[in-house]
Amino acid sequence: MPAQEVTVLLIEDETEIRRFLRATLPAHGFRLYESSTGQDGLNQARSRNPDLLLLDLGLPDLDGTEVIRRIREWSAVPILVLSARDQERMKVAALDLGADDYVTKPFGIDELLARMRTALRHTARIADGTGESIFALGDLRIDLGRRQVFVSDKEVHLTPLEYKLLTTLVQHAGKVLTHRQLLKAVWGPLHVEEGHYLRVYMRQLRNKLESNPAHPRYLLTELGVGYRLRTD
């Protein structure tokens, strides 16, 4: 989706952040609408139907997670959370409720733009059904059609659960997935509290796919939140 066609709704009560994004996002081709409260943001989301929503969690009238919950009742618009560093639990709750990603304050425009592009690409792939059958990055190649995984052109054998964990990350490449989301997708809803499953299998995947498992290139940890598969 070309940036010049993208409308963005910013729900944020901090004047400085609104001023910063008002000056920078239109310069990159985005059409920006603003709201400083959760209720007005909900109203604008319905009336403007934006392509992307930037949402602060600490709003004066509604908790940001409540805004996400209400929007997800009727819309799949990508939601990018703007969060403070001490809002770890709220970030996890926001992602579990359906937010697509988060950026921690203070953030730079390059990081924000990259996160926005990733969220928009993921939504576009789902909308038009063009999810690619091969994921390739560096020396890692995953052929989803043939259910094969290669590192430096050498096939790597994965157990069924390792493969399911990896393909779940591939399907949401670039997007952070919480521990609960991954546990539910791979092991089922009865195992969302079994965090040790995820740690063990992620370690096994890294040992098989990463040249240096202690400093992974592909399977990235989002501390206290979950994991993300790199896309660039």
Q: What is the pTM of this model?
A: 0.74
DSSP string, 90-155: HHHHHHHHT--EEEESS--HHHHHHHHHHHHHHHHHHHHT---SEEEETTEEEETTTTEEEETTEE
Residue spans of alpha helices (H) in the chain: 15-24, 38-48, 64-71, 88-97, 109-128, 160-171, 179-187, 195-209
CA 35 to chain centre: 23
Structure tokens given for 183: 């546990």
Q: How far apart are CA 155 and CA 140, in angstroms?
A: 10
Q: Which amino acid is at 117?
A: R
pLDDT in tens, 13-60: 999 999 999 999 999 989 999 999 999 999 999 988 898 999 999 899
Residue 81 CB coordination number (10 Å): 26
Strand-pair category, 7-11 with 52-56: parallel
Angle at 157 between CA 156 and CA 161, to 5 degrees: 125
What's the confidence (pLDDT) of residue 133? Answer: 81
Q: In this structure, are residues 196 and 178 in contact, taking their beta carbons and an 8 Å threshold?
A: no
Taking phi over 0 as left and psi of -120 to 50 as alpha, with beta for the rest, 165 belongs to alpha
Mean pLDDT per 10-residue section of the chain, whose length is 232 residues: 69 96 93 96 91 94 94 90 82 91 91 89 57 83 89 93 92 89 89 91 97 95 92 82
